[in-house]
Amino acid sequence: MKFIGYCFLIFFFLILFRFFYIQILQNNYYSTQAYDNSIKVIPIEPARGLIFDRNNTIIADNKLNYSLEVIPREIENLDILINKLNDVISIDTEDIKKYKRILNNNEYNQTIPIKSNLTKKELAEFAIQSYQFPNIKLKETLKRYYPKGSLGVHFLGYINRISKKDLSILEKEGKKENYIGTDHIGKAGVEFQYEQELHGESGFKQIEVNSIGKPLRTLKTYSAKEGNNIHLTIDLKIQKIAENAFKNKKGALIAMDPNNGEILAYVSMPIYDPGLFIDGISHKNWNKLNKSPDKPLLDRAINGLYPPGSTLKPFVAIAGLENQLRMPPFKINDPGYFYINNSRRFKDWKIGGHGEVDIIKAIAVSCDTFFYGLAIELGIPKLNKALANFGFGKKTGIDLPNEKAGLLADAKWKMKKYNKKWYSGETAITGIGQGFTQVTPIQLALATSKIALPNKSVIPHIKLNSQHLKQNTNNIAPIRVSNKTIAWVKEGMENVTEDGGTAAFIGKNIKYKIAAKTGTAQVFSLKDGEVYDEEKIPEKLRDHALFIAYAPAENPKIALAIVVENGGHGGSTAGPIAKKIFDYYLSSEYR
């Protein structure tokens, strides 16, 4: 009997100590657990900022979207659920594929859409039957919508669902908390570049829930701060004219205001639909875009590297003139070819040559012979220094991601890359824009606007009134080139669109004057003695057509650079595109 009494006592104190341990020593821990049990924080996604062009035309909009979403952890059998749901709303294999793709890529998002973009009819039908699906939540979100479709996709970019990789980046940058309720993030173009401004700040709602997660009441609400709207320097009308002018040719075009660096049109062809990415792009579509030989995903305007061809000649001319070489009235007599060391012969594009050529005519008729000799005499270091002055070989600083710097090659570079020495023939062809030199269309456009208005210091940019850009611009000195040099080069470029110039036909019947330079960049080289015949060469091996221009010549308001891949001769393919843009932009109705 006593033994039992002791047992009672031992058990009693054991229990008492246990309660003491849980209730007093671990009180904090369990209080937090109880709080976490009953209080759920529901993030509120901020509305993403809208994107407009310079005339307030909307390019990236938000549209109310209804989707059915599930928490994967709560789903015991997906197939059964989908079968059941299929009786109410049709769920096709594409929806299921999309769900599985997002599931693979997300651990962070609380819910995953099983069906998005519900129509009003589907919405009503689900609402009636929703009691059958306690695990499916009807989510109302603002979804990105690109009303202009693929127009301007390369500068606009797109958004995609936040991936695990994005998450780890956000975490490193300490921004993860702000994205707690956000499903999407900018992946390319302006959507990527200005992500921070467009995104806004997440809000959240504290709600009390019961054990099955049913919300009982809202305790606190911190509303989200919506993202800022962004106005671009782009003029969508010009953009559309430019894109249409390319027809189905590949290439790129940059049109900018040389007075301030505002990009008016930003074209890279072919284009694609940014809307494909919003819900996570399907494997099929991704493969189609990624494996296409036309490379639609490549942003040729800032990532496309091209040999500048003859469009480099005005800048080579400037390099010469600034080094006191070939100053008018200096002339050469062009027989149609140029010899280096009396051995290696370099052909001019015109059989028989251009006769007497000074530097002005050399630009107008694009005389190769003239520039071979100039380049040899100048030498690569002086030439590259002058070209760098116009922004070649380095990034322009445009406010878009992943810009390429291009290439100004020299002996040191060649030795490092190929372990071979530099030949003087390579200097000669550098003078006509062939060889190793590589430029991006944006670089060409910027360099052209520097010729048009040499006293302005501009950075090409796509966001209107960018404060950051203004500060940066102040740090850039205008190019230092003598007025005389500029005047001669300008005269040469103006003559391009006059009788005898390489793009004379576009200068006809217009009320303003265009200063331009054509260019043709070889995609593959002809063997000596072989004659280039466009008709006989497969299209992808045909020459790239290049064209730089500004107008009006006496008071430049627009400068542009065009590359038409495999477009043949620069003037005939790229010239008309430029003219359409000038005609529209400089017409009285536009102002």
Partner 1 sequence: MNIVSLQNYIFKKIDRPLFGSLTLILIIGLINLTSANQQDMTNTMSQIINIFIGVAFLYFICNIQTRTILTFAPWVYLITIILLFVVDFFGIKSHGAQRWISLGILNFQPSEILKISLPLILAWFYQKNTNKIDYKIHFLAGLLILIPFYLILTQPDLGTSILLLSGGLIIIFLAGLPTKFLITSFFGILLSSPFLWNSLLDYQKQRILSLLDPFSDPYGAGYHSIQSMIALGSGGIYGRGWLNGTQTSLDFLPETRTDFIFSVFSEEFGFLGVLAILSLYIFIFYRCMWMTSKMQDNFSRLLSAGLTISLFTGFIVNVAMISGLFPIVGVPLPFFSYGGTSMVVSLISIGIIMNLYSNKTLIAN
Residues that bind partner 1 (CB under 8 A): 1, 4-5, 8, 11-12, 14-16, 18-20, 22-24, 26-27, 29-31, 33-35, 37-38, 208-212, 216
φ/ψ region of 448 (left if φ > 0, alpha if ψ in -120 to 50, else beta) reads alpha
ω into residue 308 within 30 of 0, thus cis?
no
d(Cα 205, Cα 218) in Å, to the nearest integer? Answer: 7
Least distance between partner 1 and beta carbon 84 (Å): 23
d(Cα 222, Cα 45) in Å, to the nearest integer? Answer: 11
d(Cα 289, Cα 305) in Å, to the nearest integer? Answer: 20
Least distance between partner 1 and beta carbon 2 (Å): 9
d(Cα 140, Cα 118) in Å, to the nearest integer? Answer: 10
Least distance between partner 1 and beta carbon 170 (Å): 28
Q: Torsion angle of alpha carbons 337, 338, 340, 345, nearest 10°?
A: -10
* DSSP structure class, residue 537: S
Is 310 considered catalytic here? yes
17 or 418: whose CB is closer to partner 1?
17
Q: Which two tokens stand for residue 174?
A: 């300490």
37 or 482: whose CB is closer to partner 1?
37
Closest to 386 measured CA to CA, from 291, 336, 314: 314
20 or 339: whose CB is closer to partner 1?
20
Q: Which two tokens stand for residue 513?
A: 């004057």
Closest to 189 measured CA to CA, from 263, 260, 113: 263
Least distance between partner 1 and beta carbon 231 (Å): 49
d(Cα 157, Cα 297) in Å, to the nearest integer? Answer: 10
22 or 526: whose CB is closer to partner 1?
22
Q: Report whether 72 contacts 103 (CB < 8 A).
A: yes
Least distance between partner 1 and beta carbon 9 (Å): 8
20 or 418: whose CB is closer to partner 1?
20
Q: At CA 117, angle to CA 115 and CA 123, rounded to 5?
A: 80
41 or 96: whose CB is closer to partner 1?
41
Q: What stretch of H or E contains 193?
A: helix 189-193
10 or 541: whose CB is closer to partner 1?
10
d(Cα 343, Cα 70) in Å, to the nearest integer? Answer: 77
Catalytic residue among 310, 366, 449, 572: 310
11 or 418: whose CB is closer to partner 1?
11
Least distance between partner 1 and beta carbon 214 (Å): 9
Q: Report whether 158 contacts 274 (CB < 8 A).
A: yes
Least distance between partner 1 and beta carbon 10 (Å): 10
What is the per-residue DSSP string for 240-274? Answer: HHHHHHTTT--EEEEEE-TTT-BEEEEEEES---G
Burial class (CB in 10 A: 0-12, 13-18, 19+), 586: middle
Least distance between partner 1 and beta carbon 76 (Å): 12
d(Cα 399, Cα 397) in Å, to the nearest integer? Answer: 6
| Catalytic residue list | 310
